[in-house]
Amino acid sequence: MNKFKLEEMLKTFFIEDLGDLDVTTDYIFNEKDIGTLTIQAKEVGIFCGQLIIESAYHLLDREVDVTLQVEDGDRVEPTQEIARIHGPVPSLLKGERVVLNLIQRLSGIATKTNKAVNMLDSGYTKISDTRKTTPGLRMLEKYAVRVGGGINHRLRLDDAVMIKDNHIAFAGSISEAVNRVRKNIGHMVKIEVEAENEQHVLEAVEANVDVIMLDNVELDQLYKLIQLIPRDITTELSGGIEIQDLPKYRELNIDVISMGCLTHQIESLDFSANHQFEKERV
């Protein structure tokens, strides 16, 4: 994860949450009041957020000491201690909600991705995310997918060409759409084409694209279409695939299964924050 981008994101989140000052904490505590914040897991899952905890509190206050008990990708259990944060109480309290919100969401994504990877149980096919992410959180959410054992699809629209049904309809054909983009892109940019039937697949193969996405295709037809695609073209399966259905795709030997639900249909993993206050330091 890009630490510089993360810090800029955290600054935005803190500005949103803190405003000019914490009108509760700042009038009850002072910087001489010291405490310890302990973060614990409340349910089973895959943890994601060590950089969030470290970067957030160091950004708020360099006098805060962060001790992590787990790493990204570790399985956590209820009541398990995740981190112990020690320092001025105002800083501990001001960082708590932003930190918890982020690690709960990212751990939820990592947990769901890990469930999908384990459900598929394939030594070949990889589970990928999509661009169906929360605006402003894409870098973090895609990182959480990797922590859970998945891979990332495009981060942005300029990462790769993806020719879908609307592009094909406007251009008139797959081959024409491919020709138009190929004239304008660099040699490092891959071309992916969405295919829904045999005609689409054959035309995409003829156009020598890099990736063919089989979108919303029934299982019995998938077997037939995959046989038409040379092994040097990456195959991707997409379109409303649910985690419980993944085992039936295991024997297809498709390269990638992309799932939007990894990031847009998730349940956050629950964590608690407990405070202990010490006497005012001298």
Could you say which of 54, 74, 194, 203 is catalytic?
A: 194
Q: Which residues contact 118 (CB under 8 A, 6 or more apart)?
A: none
Q: Which residues contact 184 (CB under 8 A, 6 or more apart)?
A: none
Q: Look up residue 151 and give its DSSP letter.
A: B
Amino acid letter for position 167: H
Mark whether 97 is an active-site residue.
yes
Residue of 58, 11, 17, 4 whose CA lies nearest to 68: 58
Check if the beta carbon of residue 270 is closer than 8 Å to that of residue 251.
no
Could you say which of 42, 84, 126, 132 is catalytic?
A: 132
Check if the beta carbon of residue 47 is closer than 8 Å to that of residue 106.
no
Mark whether 74 is an active-site residue.
no
Residue of 18, 261, 268, 252 whose CA lies nearest to 126: 252
Check if the beta carbon of residue 77 is closer than 8 Å to that of residue 70.
no
Mark whether 215 is an active-site residue.
yes
CA torsion through residues 160, 217, 132, 54, sign: negative
Mark whether 164 is an active-site residue.
yes
Q: Which residues contact 55 (CB under 8 A, 6 or more apart)?
A: 3, 6, 7, 10
Could you say which of 97, 245, 251, 278 is catalytic?
A: 97
Check if the beta carbon of residue 80 is closer than 8 Å to that of residue 70.
yes
Could you say which of 164, 165, 278, 280 is catalytic?
A: 164
Could you say which of 7, 22, 176, 215 is catalytic?
A: 215
Active-site residue set: 97, 132, 164, 194, 215
